[in-house]
Amino acid sequence: MQYLPIAWRLVGQTALVVGGGDVAIRKARLLARAGARLRIIAPEISDDLKAMAEKSGGEVLVQAYQASALDGVSLVVGATDDGDVNAQLHKDAVERNIPVNVVDNPPLCTFIFPAIVDRDPILISISSGGASPVLARWLRSKIETILPSRLGDLAQIMGEYRSQLAKKLPSIGARRQFWEGTLEGPVAEQALAGRLDEARQRLQSAIDSADAKKLSKGEVYLVGAGPGDPDLLTFRALRLLQKADVVLYDRLVSDQVLEMARRDADLVYVGKARDKHALPQDNINDLLVHYAQQGKKVCRLKGGDPFIFGRGGEEIDKIAEAGIDFQVVPGVTAAAGCAAYAGIPLTHRDYAQSVRFVTGHRKDGSVSLPWDTLVTPGETLVFYMGLVSLPEISKNLIAHGMRADMPAALISRGTTNDQEVIVGTVGSLPKDIQNREVHAPTLIIVGEVVGVFPRYSWFRSQAEQN
């Protein structure tokens, strides 16, 4: 982050604008809108600008710039096309610790003006850090089109009732629940439709009947976070993630997905620590119950789908036992995500009529799987957690009748920017990866469908790039 966006209350403060032309007018208008008193200094000042300064309760100085104009100002904007004046102004302002912006000259700015979407009192600022103001403005127009025009009215009404609600519901969590419900209900609809009095009446009666106990009830969301690419989150996953007070996550959940949580949510890591010990499953279950019993909305984020090799079943057992409300949100499981991003169809009318998800996880030092049933014509096998056992998997499949040249692929960090696909055969794959650095997590796909892979040249070039 190169700049910190802050919202600055300028009402009654003096803002200096150096320059008297069109650029100066644009900036002066914005500053006046924020309630600043304008001081304009330039040898020539347009009548419009003079009128604007006067209306703001400020003053105009029809003269060349001089440092004394900085006396008592909170911020200064340089809007002249004179390089010397701009440089001097920047130097003078910095010496006096006054924030300075020289239009279109980032090196001479200690602050920049973001593009804004103004639905007063709602304000959205967009900045490209000076890299591309055009891109920032383009984004602004996109955001403008999706925001209801009466958003400001809704914010205004919610503001009016804030302190009343705070008296009725002392718990912050309960209030957040209340407002979130309000945003999805008729009060918001009416306000956004311009029926402000009706919206106020409804809000009043909702506050009168608000039930603190019900609103402070904890809940657990068991949410599939998908295999890594945040675009693969479901809408519901995103919604709940942004609602949660606490987010419990593990190693498989990508940083970009975590970024989607509410800024003030507690993020609790429950995966393997540096010493490689994951928090025991029982502790995770207890933690979920513990937070929910405090009245919190708890999001348990799990890589892929929570019910596929995710121990999601055990977690909800405990939650249900404790009488806590919960919901389970499916996610894109690694097999589906990796296969799609690698260009390997898991089933295919010509090659595979079924697909089987298998765990290669070792228990007591070996993989125990019903090998004879795994070697079935027309079936794709997907091994989760199979990297360590790959030699054993390969050996057993061949020993139980699979041809050694059956196509097989290993996909590492599937769906992320670091995805790697290594294609070989069930016989060769253990050797193929022997002298390569392979990053977890990895998935192994075995079957004729892997042979289809070279046909999808787009995926192939992607894989090679990686």
Q: Which residues are catalytically annotated? A: 250, 272
User: Which window, 21-29, 54-62, 207-215, 441-449, contacts ligand SAH (CB under 6 A)?
Assistant: 441-449
**E runs forming strands in 330-392:** 354-359, 379-384
**Binder of ligand SAH out of 78, 304, 330, 424 (CB under 6 A):** 304
Q: Helices H, strands E: what count in the chain?
A: 19, 17
Q: How far is the CB of 419 from ligand SAH (least distance, A)?
A: 7
State the residue for tokens 């119950």.
Answer: 289
Q: Please, are residues 384 and 410 in contact by the beta-carbon 8 Å criterion?
A: no
Specify the residue, 318 or 413, whose C-beta has the smaller distance to ligand SAH.
Answer: 413
Regarding 297 and contact with ligand SAH (CB under 6 A), the answer is: no
Q: Please, are residues 75 and 95 in contact by the beta-carbon 8 Å criterion?
A: no
**Binder of ligand SAH out of 182, 396, 415, 425 (CB under 6 A):** 415
Positive or negative, the Cα torsion across 147, 152, 158, 162? positive
Regarding 249 and contact with ligand SAH (CB under 6 A), the answer is: no
The residues, ordered by sequence, that sit 6+ positions from 438 with a Cβ below 8 Å of its Cβ are 387, 410, 412, 420, 422
**Binder of ligand SAH out of 411, 421, 429, 446 (CB under 6 A):** 411
Regarding 338 and contact with ligand SAH (CB under 6 A), the answer is: yes
Classify 307 as helix, strand or coil: coil
Specify the residue, 65 or 326, whose C-beta has the smaller distance to ligand SAH.
Answer: 326
Regarding 442 and contact with ligand SAH (CB under 6 A), the answer is: yes
- The radius of gyration computed from the CA coordinates of the chain, to the nearest angstrom, equals 30
**Binder of ligand SAH out of 310, 330, 345, 407 (CB under 6 A):** 310
CB burial readout 156-170, b (16+ within 10 A) else e: bbbeebeeebeebbe
Q: How far is the CB of 385 from ligand SAH (least distance, A)?
A: 4
State the residue for tokens 């919202």.
Answer: 7
**Binder of ligand SAH out of 305, 315, 379, 420 (CB under 6 A):** 305
Binding letters toward ligand SAH, positions 313-332, x by CB under 6 A: --------------------
Regarding 443 and contact with ligand SAH (CB under 6 A), the answer is: yes
Specify the residue, 58 or 304, whose C-beta has the smaller distance to ligand SAH.
Answer: 304
**Alpha carbon distance, N-terminus to C-terminus of the chain:** 27
* Lookup: tokens for 361: 């996880």
Classify 304 as helix, strand or coil: strand
* Lookup: tokens for 394: 């390969």
User: Which window, 77-85, 97-105, 191-199, 308-316, contacts ligand SAH (CB under 6 A)?
Assistant: 308-316
**Binder of ligand SAH out of 161, 221, 309, 453 (CB under 6 A):** 309
List of residues contacting ligand SAH (CB under 6 A): 227-228, 252, 302-305, 308-310, 333-334, 338, 384-385, 411, 413-415, 441-443
